[in-house]
Every structure is written in structure tokens, then in C-alpha cells.
A = this chain, B = another copy of it.
């Protein structure tokens, strides 16, 4: 099927550069972008036209780190630091997902809220529960979300209500992987919670599975100083945190590591060398007082940085808000480094929240030809002064101010899933 989307097109074909086509046209065939143009190509006259005149057609967002079962505690428990917060609040919340009906109800709402806010691709943690993980994948699929979901593995240092025996964790993981539909938009990803949650035996088993089945991996790295000390005491043979993953084959290309707030030069070099993807979670890092990640430095070093909401350490689910949080976080870093480090511009923040994540799913940057159509339509025509603003200004204002009510349509994998 051929479609033409008409409106002001704003995309991020490389880090820091916006391309804006005012009153432009996007050509889509069978859900894939065929090109962009300033005037309507006569060959596309008969295609279905989606007329978004004077609205903004922007790239949809990729949330590269979120904990789906923490959605019910979004915006709560914010007066606690990471490890206390995990023990007194988070584990209790996640343990409720042994109830599949509860999971169904919560995950359906989460999926709706993600789509309503233009997040069409994710890399998400489920809980350790097998059935609820299936439910999460089904509900994401039903809502039109693409990406990866992982059943969490944790066989130590959990809580009485939230921990697996090693053999159960392995058995359930295999059962879960065997049951996944290879044609679904939501695919499995191996998810050791973090080093303190997994015995060496479990880590080794997950590393073997990753290799044997060609699976991707996601986990946490160097979020908080107490956590890093803890990992050091658990693995006295490893010089640094990342080595506790690498020694089990869980630190390779397309491994997503959330946070990396306190990664030093040596750890960053390992991240780059191993083609690991950093999921920067600016709001969570501040809420849990973990620290402020050196994102500008990572980008300068050529590290692959993406963004995550990290609900519910993060309290902001909409990725436009997470982009703004990343910009603010980079400004905080600039302040703390006596104004010697550059901040992220709005264009750079947009790239990190869209193109940089989309590469994880096989896309090229921006609305490149060949990409699957993931787009949102922002209708800001009713806002103050829209008529006299440039499209670039309207874009910037949307990043800072728009909410789900302003997002008129969302396309995911070529399908209109909102509007």
C-alpha cells in the first residue's frame, strides 16, 4: 500500500543536525519510507494522502530502558536512594505481578500510555514472572509497540516475595524463550537484573543461552557508588563492574547497559570496544541521587548513547520529557564541570531519543529511505503564537511542552496506532 504523509517534517539525520521540510511530503510503501520531498511527486498522486497540513511530523521515540512492572509506582517513593528504594518499594511492587490478571490490567494501560506519548519502540524489563512476561509482550504487541522485552533473572539478593531459585530461573527462561513468536514485533532479550541479583551459575547459563540462541542482553551498569562497591565485593576477581558481565559473555554488541553514570575511562573504553549500547536515564539518575552521567564525554568518545525513561526510578514516561531531562542533565554536568563541557542541544536530545535508539532496531538515522515508518504528528496549531513561529521553534516548544493530548497521530511499523 502506498501512502503520502503531508506536513512539516522534522527529523534527525545525524547527531546535532535537524532537517526540516516545511509543507513536505513523506512517501511510504508497505510501511517503509521511500523518500521525502518538498513538493508532491506526480507518481504518488494516487496514493492515500494523510493530510497533516501545518502540523509537525516528527520521528517516534525509542525508550531504551524501562521497568514495566514498576509502572504502578510511577512518581512514588522518590525520597529514597537506589538500594533502599529497591528493597522497600520496588521489589514489593514487582512481586504483585505473579498475579496475571493484575499484570494484564497494568500492562494494557502502560502500553496505551506509551503509544499515546509516541513511544513506539522499547527495550523493557518485565518482572521475573514467566506468565506476566508473556502478558507484557502480548499487550505491547496489541498496542502496536515494537522492540524487546526481557523476563528478569534474579536468584539472589531479592526479597522473600521476589526471588527465584537458580534452576527455576533457568527453566522458566528457556520455557519463555521457546514460547516466543519469532514473527512478533516484540522479541525476547536476556535480562539479568544486575550483577548483585544473579549468582555466577545463573550468569554463566545466561551467557551460554545468549551465544547459543543469538540473543541480545540488557542489564544495569555503574548506576550508583554503593552498588559499584557491592559488585566489587561480590566479584573480587573483577577489576571493574563491566567485567562481571563480560566474563560470562554478557557484554557484547547490542548489549544495552542502563545508566553508566560512574563509568570511568577504562570502563567507557570497554563499552566502546565491545559495542555496548548505553541507555542514559537522566531523570532516574537524579531522582535516586545516583549521579549525573557524562553524556557529552561519551558522545565525544564515539559511544553509542540512547535514552531511557527508566520508570519508575524515572518519573517521566513521555520521551519528549525524557529528552528535555537529558538536556537539563547535560546542563547540570556543564555547571558541575565549571562550564567547560558542552551541553546537549535540543537537536542532539531529539537525536538521542529517536534515531540513536532506532539504530538498535535496524533503522538508519532520521526518516531515511528503507526505514520502517515510526512517526508522530504533533498538532500545536492551537498554541500561543503558532502562526508567527518558525517550524524549528514550534519543534523546540513541542519537545519542552507537548503532551499526549497534542499528539494527534502515531505510526508504528507503518501502521497508524493512534489517531
Contact = CB atoms under 8 A, between A and B. Distances in A.
Contacts of A75: 396-401
A384 B335 contact: no
Contacts of A324: 315
Given A106-B384, A287-B328, A324-B315, A74 B401 contact: yes
A345 interface: yes
Contacts of A403: 403
Contact of A335 (B106, B292, B393): B292
A385 B286 contact: no
A78 B399 CA distance: 11
Contact of A397 (B76, B292, B336): B76
Nearest to A93: B385
A91 interface: no
Contacts of A332: 286, 292, 332
Interface residues of A, number: 42
A312 to B, nearest CB: 10
A335 B289 contact: yes
B74 A397 contact: yes
B292 A346 contact: no
A392 B46 CA distance: 57
A79 interface: yes
Interface in A278-328: 283, 286-287, 289-292, 315, 324, 327-328
Contacts of A345: 79
A151 B11 CA distance: 41
Contacts of A109: 384
A405 interface: yes
Interface in A102-130: 106, 109
Contacts of A327: 78
A273 B291 CA distance: 35
A135 to B, nearest CB: 15
Contacts of A401: 74-75, 315
A185 interface: no
A78 B396 contact: yes
Contacts of A405: 405
A82 B37 CA distance: 38
Nearest to A105: B384
A52 interface: no
A364 interface: no
Nearest to A78: B346
9 contacts: A72-B385, A76-B389, A77-B396, A78-B346, A109-B384, A286-B332, A289-B334, A315-B324, A405-B405
Given A109-B384, A315-B324, 8 more contacts: A74-B400, A75-B397, A289-B331, A289-B334, A290-B335, A292-B335, A403-B403, A405-B405
